[in-house]
Structure 1
Amino acid sequence: MSVPTQTEMDLIVLKLMLDGEKRTRAQAKEAIRQQLGLSEEDCSLKTSSGVRVYESRVGWSVSYLSRAEMLHAVKRGLYEVTDFGRACAEQYTDAKAFYYFLKKTIAERNPWKHGGNESEAQTSKEENEAEQTGQEGEVSPQEQIDAAFTQLNDDLQEALLQSILEKDPTFFEQLVVDLLVKMGYGQGRPTQVSNDGGIDGIIATDALGFDPIYVQAKRYAPGNTVGRPELQGFAGALGSISRGVFITTSSFAKSAVEWASHYPHATLVLVDGKRLTELMVQYDLGVSTERVYRIKRLDGDYFGDE
């Protein structure tokens, strides 16, 4: 079966603990894996930050249930079900209904809450928003952070591409050279615009200029794909040079990609607009860091958790 949503996992973990066993988080994760019969593919599913999805959801469920006093830590990092937890497990069979009850219980038992009415109003508001979006409780907080990070990067990449398209071709030629230099391929320079012979930039990979990389940059609108003829022209301009990089703001036709992969006289690397902006973000070209968030977790070694 597929990995349960965060909403489903909360009730699954609580019912698992009804057997009276005391479990650490790690033991709960393994027990859930076996109980659900998760496949290797299911277990290998990770968030964009590399966290295993099912482990993240089980871990957060243990935290939620503990905060709601449905689980009790008999010692550091070792949990068992409480009488209140047993009663809740017997009362609820619907995962979504239990999820909202769990959130409400956590809010009511929060020692820093500002009063029951406000807590109930907030819970009601969240339930209404959940019904409208259909996404509340589907994923763990870790997955929400990763998804937000991905969305921010996607938006940034779109803004980068639009900014490049608003500049002239000469700016783009300098940009691709700057990128390859930042990536560590060597020192680079754009060629003379009036006499470039189809080559827009040259990267010298060593001090004496042996085995350089030739670069061609095409600032095309997204719908204007680069075809096989453009790549053949670039390959002809390489002459005896064995490495070339063709970078465009648009994309490559399938026939062009296939031709380049089988070209016998040089290694041709193709970089489309999506990959270009990914590399710009990765190597900090044309972008700056606005804010850094440090995500911290409980130090299990310090507190003796397994």
Structure 2
Amino acid sequence: MPIPDFQSLMLPVLNFARDHQQLTLREVREFLAHKFSLTNEEIEEVLPSGRQRRFDNRVAWAKVYLERAGLLFSPKRGCFCITQEGLDFLSRNPQSISISVLHQFEKFRAFRETPKESPKTVKSEKSLAAVPVSSLQDEVETPEESLEQAFQSIQGELASSLLEQVKSCSPHFFEVLVVDLLLKMGYGRSRSEAGRAIGRSGDEGIDGVISEDRLGLESIYIQAKRWAGTVGRPEIQKFVGALHGQRARKGVFITTGTFSADEKNYVLSIDPKIVLIDGVQLVDYMIEHDLGVVLKAVYEVKKIDLEYFNEE
């Protein structure tokens, strides 16, 4: 089954805490994974950043929200337990716990009101009652998930716009762009060395050559195609023939277009070694290595340094 959202985890977490004096997040995760019959693949699924497992993140935020409502508390580092308020709440046999349900608790309302809001925008208890329940329940993603989803959307739009910009460049500029990118990725000894071309009009499928490392121990031959659609097998074979003509062992074929699965399988079965980079991968590399893009804003996400507060 899909990983439950963090609101769906809150009631099971609170019920589990009722039956234990103290709990750790690890114990709760194991209980919830079994309760919801999660597979290993689902448990190991990570957020887009790759820095945290999605399931762990949702369990942690379910616990945080219950603590902010006063239903759980942490008596010491790494452990938590249920409060009397939490026991009283469970005695009413709630069918579920959501953000809208937690808004009945004053501590939770104070937690949700950001200190940076002006007096005119801070929600009072009366104004919260007017907030539609559906709008409070729509938050199925944790704050990290929402932040990373927004980041992925911005990156996707940037990549799409960047690819269109690259496609509008002249063929010559595109070849320069490819060399610039490879330099930023650590290939080549210098800009002048990296830019040396092979033959130009009579290149027979080779646009340039670049050293694989700073010492120039081996060369990588480049084909750069500003292409609108799928690059055909004949173009790949022409590049292979050109590499054989240079007695080259390695080549990179970069295009603004795409490669079919057949072409990708073809280059895996031949010698020399050829790497295919399509338009999507190209702009991903450009963004990663800050080519053709500038920094617009930086947002820092911080957490408490628990080691600093360790008095032992």
Paired residues of 1:68 and 1:109 also in contact (CA < 8 A)? no
Corresponding letter in the other structure for 2:201:
S
Deviation, structure 1 residue 63: 1.0
**1:279 aligned onto 2:285:** yes
Once residues 302 and 36 of structure 1 are traced to their aligned partners in structure 2, the CA distance between those partners, rounded to angstroms, is 37
Residue number in structure 2 paired with 1:174? 176
Deviations 1:138-188 (A, max 9, x none): 221111112111111111110110100111111111111111111112141
Residue number in structure 2 paired with 1:116? 125
- Higher mean alpha-carbon deviation, 70-79 vs 154-163, is at 70-79
Segments of 4+ moved more than 6 angstroms: none
Paired residues of 2:68 and 2:108 also in contact (CA < 8 A)? no
Deviation, structure 1 residue 48: 1.3
**1:39 aligned onto 2:44:** no
State the secondary structure of the residue aligned to 1:149. Answer: helix
Deviation, structure 1 residue 104: 4.8
Residue number in structure 1 paired with 2:89? 88
Deviation, structure 1 residue 230: 0.4
- Note the aligned Cα RMSD (angstroms): 2.5
Residue number in structure 2 paired with 1:225? 230
Once residues 89 and 249 of structure 2 are traced to their aligned partners in structure 1, the CA distance between those partners, rounded to angstroms, is 69
**1:9 aligned onto 2:9:** yes
Paired residues of 2:29 and 2:56 also in contact (CA < 8 A)? yes
Paired residues of 2:6 and 2:62 also in contact (CA < 8 A)? yes
Q: 2:209 aligns with which of 185, 202, 208?
A: 202
Alignment of 1:1-306 (within 5 A): 1-49=1-49, 50-91=51-92, 93-95=94-96, 98-105=98-105, 106-110=107-111, 115-121=124-130, 123-124=131-132, 127-129=133-135, 136-187=138-189, 188-189=194-195, 191=197, 193-205=200-212, 209-221=216-228, 224-238=229-243, 239=245, 240-264=247-271, 266-304=272-310
Residue number in structure 1 paired with 2:118? none
**TM-score, normalization: structure 1?**
0.86
Deviations 1:51-77 (A, max 9, x none): 111111111111111111111233455
Closer/same/farther in 2, CA of residues 34 and 206 from structure 1, 3 Å limit = closer
Once residues 61 and 55 of structure 1 are traced to their aligned partners in structure 2, the CA distance between those partners, rounded to angstroms, is 10
Closer/same/farther in 2, CA of residues 193 and 94 from structure 1, 3 Å limit = farther
Paired residues of 1:14 and 1:81 also in contact (CA < 8 A)? yes
Once residues 103 and 169 of structure 1 are traced to their aligned partners in structure 2, the CA distance between those partners, rounded to angstroms, is 59
State the secondary structure of the residue aligned to 1:213. Answer: strand
Once residues 104 and 169 of structure 2 are traced to their aligned partners in structure 1, the CA distance between those partners, rounded to angstroms, is 53
State the secondary structure of the residue aligned to 2:48. Answer: coil
Unaligned 5+ segments in structure 1 are: none
Deviations 1:178-234 (A, max 9, x none): 11111112141152643433211210235675531111111112xx10111000011
Paired residues of 1:243 and 1:268 also in contact (CA < 8 A)? yes
Corresponding letter in the other structure for 2:71:
M
Paired residues of 1:92 and 1:98 also in contact (CA < 8 A)? no
Closer/same/farther in 2, CA of residues 103 and 189 from structure 1, 3 Å limit = farther
Structure number with greater CO (CA < 8 Å, separation at least 6) is: 1
Bigger share in helix: 1
Corresponding letter in the other structure for 1:228:
R
Once residues 37 and 213 of structure 2 are traced to their aligned partners in structure 1, the CA distance between those partners, rounded to angstroms, is 55
Closer/same/farther in 2, CA of residues 226 and 114 from structure 1, 3 Å limit = closer
Identity of aligned residues (%): 34
**TM-score, normalization: structure 2?**
0.84
- Higher mean alpha-carbon deviation, 191-200 vs 137-146, is at 191-200
The number of aligned residues is 294
Deviation, structure 1 residue 130: 6.1
Once residues 71 and 42 of structure 1 are traced to their aligned partners in structure 2, the CA distance between those partners, rounded to angstroms, is 27
- Higher mean alpha-carbon deviation, 249-258 vs 193-202, is at 193-202
Paired residues of 1:173 and 1:190 also in contact (CA < 8 A)? no
